[in-house]
Amino acid sequence: MERLRQAFLRFDRRHGGAEPPPRVQVFIARHPVGSGVVHGALQGLLFAWVLSGFDEPRRMLQAVLVGVVAGLLSWLGCRFERRRQAYYERNGGFRRAPVPPPPTDEELPVWFEGLQWICYWAVGTVFLWLFGQLRNPPDSWLRSAVLAGIIIVGGWAVRRYKERRHR
């Protein structure tokens, strides 16, 4: 088991695991139960909404089970991430930059970043839905929401990639 752990840590260091994690990742790792509950509730509600067209009570039980399993997996992943961060903190693995200056306008609180993402997604969903009404047949809200989510996450990934290249 120790050899597997050491192999994972070598792989993690090689792929940037020794870099300090973003604030959102630290926040989620410090609150694994809350993260698991929120993730499980959102997954369960999404699954229940998808299955709401069926009148069978078994479907709602399936939605609850999907939410519970998603929450447990999320909690487990957060616990794993918390242990990984603690290992690097304990062994001096994170390459810390000098003490950062006080927060500026560019550095936003974690809750505000999350609110900002939700607002971008909502505006993108409405915009894509309105644009999709020009098509025959018109786009649904679900399709517009999924496309907006893909566009928002894709833009974030490109921005992160560019930031890492400039370091």
List, in order, residues 6 or more apart from 61 with CB less than 8 Å away: none
Percent of the chain residues past pLDDT 90, beyond the cut: 21
Quote the tokens at residue 108: 């936003």
pLDDT at 42: 92
pLDDT at 34: 92
pLDDT at 97: 54
One-letter amino acid of 38: V
* Burial track 128-143 (b if 16+ CB lie within 10 A, e otherwise): bbeebeeeeeebeeee
What is the rounded average pLDDT of the residues 65-69? 92
Quote the tokens at residue 9: 């840590």
What are φ and ψ of residue 22, in 5° steps?
-65, 160
Per-residue pLDDT tens over the stretch 105-160:
566 677 788 888 899 999 999 998 888 888 877 788 888 888 899 999 898 889 88
pLDDT at 19: 79
Question: 38: pLDDT confidence band, cut at 50, 70 and 90?
Answer: very high
State the residue for tokens 């088991």.
1
**pLDDT for 95 beyond 80:** no
What's the predicted TM-score (pTM) here? 0.53
- Contact predicate 129/144, CB 8 Å: yes
d(CA 82, CA 63): 28
